[in-house]
Chains A and B, each alone.
Chain A
Amino acid sequence: MTTSTLDTHLKSAPAAAGGKRRSLKPGWFLVSPSVALLLLWMIIPLGMTIYFSLIRYNLLYPGENQFVGLENFEYFLTDAGFMPGALNTLALVGSVLLISVVFGVLIAALLEACEFWGRGIVRVLLISPFFIMPTVSALVWKNLIFHPVSGILAAIWKFFGAQPVDWLAQHPLLSIIFIVSWQWLPFAILILMTAMQSLDQDQKEAARLDGAGPIAIFWHLTLPHLARPIAVVVMIETIFLLSVFAEIFTTTSGGPGFESTNLAYLIYNHALLQFDVGMASAGGLIAVVIANLAAIVLIRMIGKNLTNQ
């Protein structure tokens, strides 16, 4: 599919240019600032990170910067926090994506099902969490919702005669998944809702006249139409979910143990709390590699959906 669109562009481009050389020139001249800046933004820090990762560099022991080869990588990969960190990162990204896509589709479908009173207000309420900064939503959930004494959930548990749960201590990762999903579900609803509005109503009406029930229409008509927007949601959310930080920083500090530590937080921990720049850099590079693997897989899976217009 990609090649076919590229082909048509290749065919049409020279025709449109028609001897005018202008059509090629402004192209690279105008793109280059963005590309150059992003390259700098990528290469300089990355180069420095590679360099740091190969030397012993601890801010607590200045002056001892000898070359240590891959020692930092070895330490990081065998660190007690690495495996839990990697698995937690995957669990966090995967479950938030699943929650936001599934509930996003369902809620968007509900909102678009028919007119009802106060639809505008409902929409405003639904997308509000997207505007709230991560530190604030983490703090609100931690102190006002999850708190085992004064939190809302504790009150509900007590109302039903159950023992209140200390969510962030007993189910730290689950709680963080909850908070992060709350932040990102609105984004999914927003995009999927816009997509549904563009669905051909005549087609829907025709299917209905042919005797298709609402579930059949949803399954055979709406869902296929949503492939592209879902790809967009997955792409954008993955980018942000891979580096979730503030939510963990403000609620559990990665604990207890490493139960809610993701890679981003683990590296932060080495760099700014233990001042071990060398090891943090090695960890950073490993995170970059993992992120890029994820990116390659994602682009393979959904890239077609993203770029084919």
Chain B
Amino acid sequence: MLTLKQSRRLQSVLVGTSSWAIAALIFFPILWMILTSFKTEIDAFATPPQFFFMPTLENYLLINERSDYFSFAWNSLLISSVATLLCMLIAVPAAYSMAFFESRHTKRTLLWMLSTKMLPPVGVLMPIYLICQSLGLLDSRIALIVIYTLINLPIVVWMIYTYFKDIPVDILEAARLDGATTLQEIGRVLLPIARGGLASTMLLSLILCWNEAFWSLNLTSSAAAPLTALVASYSSPEGLFWAKLSAVSTLACAPILIFGWISQKQLVRGLSFGAVK
């Protein structure tokens, strides 16, 4: 017969082992990609797959010669961050008035906004493509920034709305009685309180922009192409170059992956969409 303490310990060991096993299984493709990127092409294609090998940097050097990684990365960074900021700028006022000056239409407006996300991008690909063409915006960062802002807007509004909903109205009323204007009320009182929620909204928006691969593949070719396009350019099936492909993939994902790891606590805490009550 196990004592209570022993059975708790046993439970912890069992839960720990199975959690680690599942995590290892789910993480494996990423680990394998990173490992493969340090192999020679021959090692990368070897059967059975090699777990121990002489690491080499040749793939990374070759990629840097063949294409300008930093120009792609700069496009990704610029497009994602500007689109995210723009989106926040439009969404915060909307969420503010929806959360604190609720009317009969608020809920319907929110659901309608979400429903615009149900519209599959392919449904409007041709018009957007032709509009961009006639405005000379094909292969431009501006087009992607505008599109990313719009496609993330519903989710961002909704997330911020749920955070604002958690803030007691009394605090804002108090500020208002002290003579604060609407702008002061938002800037001095509301934003500092909702800082955590806003940060995780921005994180999510950044991740979604960084990884967006429909519009970036269809609307850009070189000048404004972000990292998704760089990866796609290495995916043509000529020859054996798993190692180079892995290296370019690792390069494309590394910034957002590291960023995600650092901020995951914040993201986990914030990603509730009002689901946690």
Residues of A in contact with B (beta carbons under 8 Å apart)? 2, 6, 9-10, 13, 16, 23-24, 26-31, 33-35, 37-38, 41-42, 44-46, 48-49, 52, 107, 110-111, 113-119, 121-137, 139-141, 143-145, 149-150, 152, 154-155, 158-159, 182, 185-186, 190-191, 193-195, 198, 228-229, 231-232, 235-236, 238-239, 242-243, 245-246, 249-250, 263-264, 267-268, 271-272, 277, 280-281, 283-285, 287-288, 291-292, 294-295, 299, 303, 306-307, 309
Contacts and interface: CB of A to CB of B under 8 A. Distances in A.
A148 to B, nearest CB: 11
The residue among B104, B113, B125, B249 with the most chain A CB atoms within 10 A of its own CB is B125
Nearest to B92: A30
B253 A118 contact: no
B276 A117 contact: no
A104 to B, nearest CB: 12
B237 to A, nearest CB: 9
Contacts of B182: 26
B196 interface: no
Contacts of A141: 29
B26 A292 contact: no
Nearest to A6: B104
Contacts of B98: 27, 31
Name the 3 nearest CB pairs between A and B, nearest first.
A116-B16, A284-B123, A45-B124
A271 B246 contact: no
Contact of B232 (A38, A46, A135, A294): A135
B249 A49 contact: no
B276 to A, nearest CB: 5
B114 interface: yes
A30 B97 contact: yes
B153 A37 contact: yes
Interface of B: 8, 11-13, 15-16, 18-20, 22-24, 26-30, 32-33, 36, 44-49, 90-91, 93-94, 96-98, 101-104, 107, 109-111, 113-128, 130-131, 150, 153-155, 157, 165, 169, 182, 207, 210-211, 213-214, 217-218, 227-228, 231-232, 235, 242, 245-246, 249, 252-253, 256-257, 259-261, 264, 267-269, 271-277
A130 to B, nearest CB: 7
Given A117-B16, A125-B24, A284-B122, A49 B91 contact: no
Contacts of A145: 29, 32
A34 B113 contact: yes
A35 B242 contact: no
Contacts of A116: 12-13, 15-16, 19
Contacts of B116: 38, 41-42
B76 to A, nearest CB: 10
Contact of A26 (B97, B120, B155): B97
Given A31-B97, A34-B91, A159 B273 contact: no
Nearest to B214: A245
A194 B111 contact: no
Contacts of B115: 292, 295, 299
A127 B23 CA distance: 9
Contacts of A249: 217
Nearest to A39: B116
28 contacts: A38-B153, A41-B116, A45-B127, A107-B19, A110-B15, A114-B11, A118-B20, A128-B27, A129-B26, A129-B27, A132-B257, A143-B242, A152-B49, A195-B275, A232-B275, A235-B114, A236-B155, A239-B114, A245-B121, A245-B213, A246-B217, A250-B232, A263-B120, A267-B122, A284-B120, A284-B123, A291-B118, A303-B111
Contacts of B126: 48-49, 52, 271, 277, 280-281, 284
